[in-house]
Amino acid sequence: MLQVIINGLLIGGVYALVAVGITMIHGVMKIVNFAQGDFLAMGLYFTYAMYSLMPQGSLPYWLLVPVGAAMYLAGCIFFSTTIKKVIGKGDSNYILLTIGLSYIIQNVIQLIFGPDFKSVAVSDQLRNGALALGSVSLSTARVIAFIAAAAFAVFVNWFLASTDIGRAMRATSENRVIAESLGIKTSIVFITAFALGTVFAGISGLLISPIFLLSPKVGSQFSIIAMSAMVLGGLGNIKGALIGGLIIGLVESMTSSYAGVLLSQAAINAVLMLVLIIRPYGLFGKKGRAS
């Protein structure tokens, strides 16, 4: 049981990072990005392409800076060419647009890399290595991914609380009109929030590259997980997204170990529905004010 719980927490940390990205976008822009998982797939494939050029035996985590920079640039391009065009034009436009982006990204990946499953050729020591902690065995790759995800979570809290653009994001998430009246350039806030959300997804792809197989549609499952974590924790709540990701990791690990992998998604949905029945606004969500 202890082994299963620790495995769930380790992978839940990566799920939490993906959820933080989609939560940041929703909190600032009030949209749900259905292509968030596909941005993770972009990070996976970018890692795969870059790692193939590196010396054998090196670690993929050295690609953190180029992957982060590439995903930030991609986020700015996607926002400027698509999302920006439908701001303030209704929720249905966002939904259709981001779903369309999801299909486009999947098909471009398939066009470039093909439909077959692939894997990043990391060393066996990293892929299968383990750290012994008493009677518990910790996967090396999962431990590294969890530590990196935790570091990014700390960075997000610092960024939102201690930087001007972070405080501007918080103000815009509360009330865009008042934020603009105070001189905040919400256009800059929007593109920054969307680009950072894209970066978190891409970095998550890098972190799980030694663990998961790559396929053009691999992002779909992560989109579902990220949205479930966001709703579970409370829409727009960063702390809720972090805890929601950890809970989903635990539920998935325990269900897969004791009931079978095929029932894991059903168990996640059951927990999500139970929480929403008890707390309709999520674990840390707040009821919106109608004023």
Q: Which two tokens stand for residue 230?
A: 């966001």
**What is the enclosing helix (H) or strand (E) of 221?**
helix 218-233
The tokens 């992560």 sit on which residue? 222
* Confidence band of 279 (pLDDT split at 50, 70, 90): confident
> What is the average per-residue pLDDT within 209-215?
87
Q: Would you state the CATH architecture of domain 2-278?
A: Orthogonal Bundle (1.10)
Q: What is the tens place of the pLDDT at every residue in 75-111?
A: 999 999 998 888 777 778 888 999 999 999 999 999 9
**Neighbouring C-beta atoms of residue 69, cutoff 10 Å:** 12
Q: What is the tens place of the pLDDT at every residue in 133-181?
A: 777 788 888 888 888 888 888 888 888 888 899 899 888 888 888 888 8
Q: Are 28 and 189 in contact (CB under 8 A)?
A: yes
Q: What is the pLDDT of residue 100?
A: 93
Q: Are 192 and 79 in contact (CB under 8 A)?
A: no
Instruction: Kindly report the pTM of this predicted structure.
Output: 0.87
Q: Are 42 and 199 in contact (CB under 8 A)?
A: no
Give the start-to-end residue ranges of the domains of the chain. Answer: 2-278
Q: What is the tens place of the pLDDT at every residue in 26-37?
A: 888 888 889 999
**Neighbouring C-beta atoms of residue 249, cutoff 10 Å:** 25
Q: What is the tens place of the pLDDT at every residue in 36-78?
A: 999 999 999 999 988 888 766 667 778 888 999 999 999 999 9
> What is the average per-residue pLDDT within 8-20?
88
* Confidence band of 132 (pLDDT split at 50, 70, 90): confident
Q: What is the pLDDT of residue 291?
A: 36
Judge whether residue 288 has pLDDT over 70.
no
Measure the CA–CA gap between 207 and 44, rounded to whole angstroms.
9
